[in-house]
């Protein structure tokens, strides 16, 4: 149901994060929030962004013959920790060799990128960083499961698409990238299965030639592809930090939900709850998260269980890296320190009002022209 998914996704482009309900939880301390903004810009934004990529400048480089993989967005802040949207260990440059830097654009809401229709495009495409597991130090189980597990796709081996991806390199065939169909890595498997689902649907919609494997309606294919993304899932030793607008409403925190409040997340790992209880939605407006006391029928979350660790992403004293991502000390480059109580509270106050605007024009329409909803078909 790719057309239906695309319709829903382009509707969701207009969804805005919740605003802090001052009438229910109390007003925002604006002076404290201002202090928090300075801390956020210094400590958090270099990983969480959002980072807007200037497509126009990238197009100029492509037109001049620069390979796409050599176009490297330039960071608006120091790159010493995360090095932009490419994965790397601390202290190492992870830009491709000979990369040409493209500046991050300023907000230009009235402009639209020429490759996609107006209602799909925000002028700036948001890049998301990949932060190496060694650096962020959070529980690696989720990433490692995807990296280390393999899958048996041998039932698909005799399809025309499978024969194409296993053909010897050269000629008109694509490069071989699946050697053993009984042990296919997750990223490679998703690349194959996802592409076949996508292009199979495009063929049924009449906008793709399955023999020549090229569009018969290039505009429709570009629209359904969405932001020009290549369908090449990657299995990296890394996690991607999300933009943080509305994060106060998304407890529990970290990718595995192992930290119940933002106050604990801004604290050293030793100050976080080892065990807490889930199953209710009562909100904690002081520490910004869930109230997690024991109750009958609760789910007991134990952070000592494999996959549940609440370590890492910790604001503490010591050498930055290996899970310590605190405030970088200007007097000792490469070293971090924990936040003071005032700094923690200031950051919490700012996270109540953090905005990543501007976003897509709310006057534009969703893309639902290829959809035949159940019950509407003749």
The answer to whether 55 and 125 are in contact (CB under 8 A) is yes
Question: What is the DSSP annotation of 22-86?
Answer: HHHH----HHHHHHHHHHHHHHTHHHH--EEEEHHHHHHHHHTT--GGGEEEPPSS--TTT-TTS
Q: How far apart are CA 364 and CA 366, in angstroms?
A: 7
Q: What is the DSSP letter of 270?
A: G
pLDDT score for 315: 94
Q: How far apart are CA 168 and CA 176, in angstroms?
A: 6
Q: How far apart are CA 270 and CA 60, in angstroms?
A: 50
The SS3 call for residue 334 is coil
pLDDT score for 3: 83
Q: How far apart are CA 161 and CA 158, in angstroms?
A: 8
- The residue among 1, 6, 4 whose CA lies nearest residue 225 is 6
Q: What is the DSSP letter of 103?
A: P
pLDDT score for 367: 77
Q: Would you state the structure tokens that stand for residue 342, as one six-digit string?
A: 């005032």
Give Cβ neighbours of residue 279 (< 8 Å, ≥ 6 apart).
295, 297, 298, 299
Q: How far apart are CA 312 and CA 357, in angstroms?
A: 29
- The residue among 88, 105, 169, 344 whose CA lies nearest residue 179 is 169
Q: Would you state the structure tokens that stand for residue 104, as one six-digit string?
A: 């991050």
Per-residue pLDDT tens for 36-73? 999 999 889 888 887 766 666 667 777 788 766 566 55
The SS3 call for residue 224 is helix
pLDDT tens over the chain, length 378 residues? 888 888 888 788 778 889 999 999 999 999 999 999 999 998 898 888 877 666 666 677 777 887 665 665 544 333 433 444 433 333 343 333 444 444 433 333 333 333 333 333 434 456 677 788 888 999 999 999 988 899 998 888 877 667 666 655 554 444 566 778 899 888 888 878 887 788 888 888 888 898 888 889 887 887 787 654 555 677 778 888 888 999 999 999 999 999 999 999 999 999 999 999 999 989 999 999 999 999 999 999 999 999 999 999 999 999 988 899 888 888 988 899 999 999 999 999 999 999 987 766 655 677 787 777 665 544
pLDDT score for 34: 97
The SS3 call for residue 196 is helix
The SS3 call for residue 324 is strand
- In angstroms, what CA-CA distances link 259 with 5, 27, 253? 32, 25, 5
């Amino acid at each position: 149901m790719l057309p239906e998914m695309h319709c829903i996704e382009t509707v969701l482009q207009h969804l805005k994060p919740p605003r802090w309900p001052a009438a229910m939880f109390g007003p925002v301390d604006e002076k404290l929030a201002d202090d928090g903004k300075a801390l956020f810009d210094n400590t958090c934004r270099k990983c969480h962004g959002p980072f807007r990529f200037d497509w126009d400048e990238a197009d100029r480089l492509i037109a001049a013959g620069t390979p796409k993989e050599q176009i490297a967005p330039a960071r608006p802040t120091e790159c010493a920790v995360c090095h932009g949207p490419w994965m790397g260990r601390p202290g190492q440059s992870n830009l491709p060799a000979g990369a040409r830097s493209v500046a991050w654009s300023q907000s230009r809401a009235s402009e639209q990128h020429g490759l996609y229709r107006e209602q799909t495009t925000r002028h700036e495409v948001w890049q998301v960083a990949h932060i190496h597991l060694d650096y962020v130090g959070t529980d690696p189980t989720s990433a490692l499961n995807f990296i280390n597990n393999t899958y048996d796709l041998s039932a698909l081996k005799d399809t025309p698409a499978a024969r194409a991806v296993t053909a010897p390199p050269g000629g008109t065939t694509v490069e071989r990238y699946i050697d053993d169909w009984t042990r296919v890595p997750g990223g490679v498997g998703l690349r194959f299965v996802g592409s076949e689902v996508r292009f199979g649907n495009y063929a049924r919609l009449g906008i793709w030639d399955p023999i020549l494997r090229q569009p018969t309606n290039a505009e429709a294919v570009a629209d359904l592809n969405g932001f020009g993304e290549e369908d090449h899932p990657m299995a990296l030793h890394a996690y991607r930090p999300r933009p943080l607008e509305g994060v106060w409403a998304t407890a529990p925190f970290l990718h595995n939900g192992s930290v119940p409040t933002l106050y604990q997340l801004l604290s050293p790992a030793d100050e976080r709850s080892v065990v807490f209880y889930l199953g209710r939605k009562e909100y904690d407006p002081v520490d910004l998260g869930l109230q997690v006391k024991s109750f009958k029928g609760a789910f007991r979350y134990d952070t000592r269980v494999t996959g549940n660790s609440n370590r890492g992403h910790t604001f503490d004293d010591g050498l930055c890296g290996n899970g310590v991502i605190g405030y970088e000390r200007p007097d000792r480059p490469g070293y971090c320190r924990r936040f003071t109580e005032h700094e923690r509270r200031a950051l919490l106050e700012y996270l109540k009002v953090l905005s990543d605007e501007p976003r897509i024009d709310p006057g534009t329409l969703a893309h639902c022209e290829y959809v035949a909803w159940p019950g509407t078909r003749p």
